[in-house]
Every structure is written in C-alpha cells, then in structure tokens.
Amino acid sequence: MFFWGCSFVWIKIVYEHHYRPITTIFLRLVISSIILYFAVKVLKKGQKIDRADYEKFLLLALFEPFFYFMGESFGLTLVSSTIAAVIISTIPVVTPIFAFIFIKEKISVLNFFGLIISFVGIILMVCNQNFSLDASPLGICLEFFAVVTVIIYSILVKKLAVKYSTFTIIKAQNILGVIYFLPLFFIFDFKQFITINPDSDLIFALLMLAVFASTIAYLLYIPVIRAFGVNKANMFVNFIPVFTAILSFFILSETFNFKKIMGILIVIAGVSLSQIYKVISKMIFKSTP
C-alpha cells in the first residue's frame, strides 16, 4: 500500500515531464514484464497456464491493468494525487456491495454507515463552500471506475491464486496488459513520445512505477488475497491516501487546507467504521468459552 500510495506521486511527476497516460502505463508494464521474465528464470518460478484458463487470464488483465490504469491514470490528469488516492481508499467499503450482488453476502449496518460517511468525506474534499465541484467530475468518475475494476480484479485473482503462483499471475497480467495497450500507444502517443528527451527525474519516476508499483506491490498483494480473502486484503487500502497525502505535500508541494484535511480524516473514519464489526466479532468469538 505504501508503494501504491507513492505511485500517485510518481505518476504526477511523469505527467509533468509531458509523458501521456497511455505512454506511462505502456512503458511501466513493459519494464515490469522484463523484470518478471528474468526473475521467473532466475528463481525458477515458471508455471504453464492451462488452455482452459486462458479466458480467465485475458479477463483478469482486461480489468487490471487495462481498465484500472485507464481510469486511474486519466483521472490523475484531472484531479490531484491526494483526491485520487482518497477515492481509491473507498475500495474496502465498496467491496461488500459487490460481494452482496454476486455472492449474496450480507452488508452489515456498520458497513452501510461507513459507506455513507466515506462519501461525505469525498464530497467535502471535491466541493467548494458553495457545494459546487472543486474537482473535475470526469476525473472523479474515472477514479471511481478504477475502484470498481480493482474489486472485480481482486475477485478474479482470488480464484486464480488457488491454482497459480503469484509470479505466474503477475507476469501474465502485465504481458497481456502490454498487448492491450500496444495499439493505443502507437495510434495515440507514439509521435509525441519520440519528441521527448527524458531527463533523470522522468526516468527515475518511471522506473519506480515499474519496479515498485507494478511489480513488487503485486508480489506482496496477491499472497495476502490468497491467505485472507478479498475483503480482508482490501482493508489495507485505507493506508494509501495517508501515504499519498504526506508525499504529495513534501514532493509535489500540494496545498492542504482545513477542508481537505477533514475530508481525508472523514473518509478514513468511514472506511475504518465499516471494518470495526469484523474486529469486534473476532474479539467476542475469542472471549466466548
């Protein structure tokens, strides 16, 4: 979550050096795929994917990295890194809604109130004193689109993680992501890409995205989904806006007024409230003889 919190800042740095979203995504996936290819060879983690599972992997990569990065990256061109990270942090609250729709898992009262409180915090951050939007509506919608896609991705990963190793899943999703983005890169961004002379800051931010956000973060995240399940794994997303807010303040000189700080705190409180019942239930269960 720390690496993904950093990624919102690294993406902004890349954008400041005139790389477009599709170029940024495509290059970080290419670099990550190369790293994973050699890592699998050296660590002997190679695993053959059954033909019957081809469609599942194609669908997995469609939701993430393709749909997720399209929503997150284009959204970041329209809203601040902190607002984007706070919206992404609502994943733990929205996840049970999908669990209710697809697997009929009940939504608790605390989860419902946590959802409402989180959205109040987001509204406080993106609206000005006249209650008109202070952030791009399209940018907000794109970030929420990313939230939906990452939840569906998590459900698909949970199913594949039973059969395949973490290295196999990440390597497959990133290579397929490269294939998905390749035509878009050449159609929309290639002419602009070859005119840019990358400096050290741009190269550094891009490498950080590829190594930490697109490789190591997933290597750490998928085993957690395998061990804890989707709902518990996504609880840790709460930390993303905290890391992003701190880094944005020091690195991007992003301004923080009282309204934005209160919005962040309310969102985190709402997300935390939605998870409290799980902790209380465990405590009661353990104390029962």
Report, as ranges of residue numbers, the positions in the chain whose pLDDT lies below 70: 99, 102-108, 111, 115, 125-134, 271, 274-289
Q: Distance (Å, rounded) from C-alpha 228 to C-alpha 225?
A: 5
Q: Which two structure tokens, joined as six digits, stand for 171?
A: 């390597």
Give the per-residue pLDDT at 249. Answer: 83
pLDDT at position 145: 95
Give residue 184's identity as a one-letter amino acid code. Answer: L
Report percent pLDDT > 90 for the chain: 48
CB 32 within 8 A of CB 174: yes
Give pLDDT, residue 130: 61
pLDDT at 132: 59
pLDDT in tens, 229-266: 777 777 777 778 778 888 888 888 877 777 778 877 88
Angle, nearest 10°, between helix axes 91-103 and 109-126? 130
Q: Which amino acid is at 255?
A: T
Q: What is the pLDDT of residues 98-112, one digit of tens each?
A: 767 765 656 667 767
Give the pLDDT score at 106: 64
pLDDT at 10: 94
Provide DSSP, 129-196.
Answer: TTSSBSS-HHHHHHHHHHHHHHHHHHHHHHHHTTTS-HHHHHHHHHHHHHHHHHHHIIIIIHHHHTT-
What tokens were used for 252?
């991007």
Instruction: Specify whether the CB–CB gap between 92 and 1 falls below 8 A.
Output: no
Nearest CA among 34, 20, 2 for reference residue 207: 34
